[in-house]
Amino acid sequence: MPHNPNERKLEQVKNVYSFWGKFPSLYSAQDAVTFLGRAKTIRRRAVEKIGLKRGDKVLEVACGSGRNFPYLVEAVGKEGFILGFDYSQAMLDASKQLCERNDWYSLKLVQGDAAQLKIHEKNFDGVLSVLGISAVPEWEKALQRCYNVLRPGGKLVVCDARLFTGFLRFFNPLINVVYSKFAAWDPSKNIPEKMKEIFGNGEVENLNFGTFFIATSIKKGK
Ligand SMILES: C[S@@+](CC[C@H](N)C(=O)[O-])C[C@H]1O[C@@H](n2cnc3c(N)ncnc32)[C@H](O)[C@@H]1O
């Protein structure tokens, strides 16, 4: 058992997602619950927010089993380049199978910790993360790495979940326990605020009664 708390959390990520990676259909099925039946709409909306063009280069951090790849492939076309990055080799294996089934050859998959983001490519037109940053132990470092690999004018879009407010908040303790245990989710991270701090700008769209948000920041400069 690692002593360092971040290493312990990474170990949890590895264990939790080796299960989901073996059962990608089950993972897809739980999407309906997590997104309250609006998974396709919200995932598509998050990709639209990046404003990608055909031929663009995009990075998906914590891409998991590739649930956003259809929208990214549609946006950048066969002439574009997509890099899917994830800590869980099992989730990447599921992604690889999805790519093979769909003949998506312009996609590259890399395993690693998003807080280090060891990749050769840089100057991405866009970076996406859906339900990913909230599971990354050193999430602030990961956001900084996303900033570093963007070209000036490129956008980071993070779509993630929040706990209920209002009368539904009575479900929060249960949701917190279930999703932290089975998805390594930590809703206490203020991702939009940190993005604003790193990029110097940011906008947030709230969806699903405030239980989802899409935060967008643009890297300034020419
Ligand atoms: C809830 S899943 C989301 C997967 C995918 N983005 C989606 O939209 O379905 C969270 C993902 O974050 C990945 N993850 C957690 N910590 C990570 C880290 N430090 N570096 C890279 N990926 C990480 C997990 O392996 C898992 O695939």
pLDDT digits (tens, 9 = 90+) for 11-41: 999 999 999 999 999 988 989 888 989 999 9
Average pLDDT over residues 57-66: 98
Q: What is the pLDDT of residue 118?
A: 96
Let me know how many helices (H) and strands (E) the chain has, helices first: 8, 7
Q: pLDDT digit string (tens) for 182-220?
A: 888 988 899 999 999 999 999 999 999 889 999 999 999
Cα–chain-centroid distance for residue 66?
10
**pTM, rounded to two decimals:** 0.96
Nearest CA to ligand 1 atom 26: 64
CA–CA dist 143, 171 (Å, integer): 29
Q: Between β-strands 107-111 and 124-130, what pairing exists: parallel, antiparallel or unpaired?
A: unpaired
Residue 47 structure tokens = 């990709």
- Per the listing, tokens 């997602």 go with 17
pLDDT for residue 165: 86
pLDDT of residue 11: 94
pLDDT for 214: 98
Instruction: Copy the structure tokens of residue 25.
Output: 């259909």
Domain ranges of the chain: 5-218
- Please give all residues whose beta carbon lies within 6 A of any atom in ligand 1, as ranges: 10, 13, 17, 62-64, 67-68, 86-88, 91, 113-115, 130-132, 135-137, 183-184
pLDDT of 187: 87
Which H or E element spans position 8?
helix 5-22
| Res 180 pLDDT > 80 | yes
Q: What is the mean pLDDT of residues 103-121?
A: 95
The CATH fold assigned to 5-218 is Rossmann fold (3.40.50)
Q: What would the mean pLDDT of 94-107 be, rounded to a whole number? A: 94
Choose which residue among 61, 87, 138 to substitute to test ligand 1 binding: the one with the highest number of ligand atoms within 8 A of its C-beta. Answer: 87
The protein residue whose alpha carbon is closest to atom 25 in ligand 1 is 88
CA-CA-CA-CA torsion sign (83, 64, 10, 205)? positive
Across 43-65, average pLDDT: 98
What is the pLDDT, as a whole number, of residue 201?
98
Distance CA 162, CA 111 (A): 27
**Phi then psi for 140, rounded to 5 degrees?**
-70, -40
- Residue 20 and residue 93 in contact, taking contact as beta carbons nearer than 8 Å: no
Task: State the pLDDT at residue 55.
Answer: 97
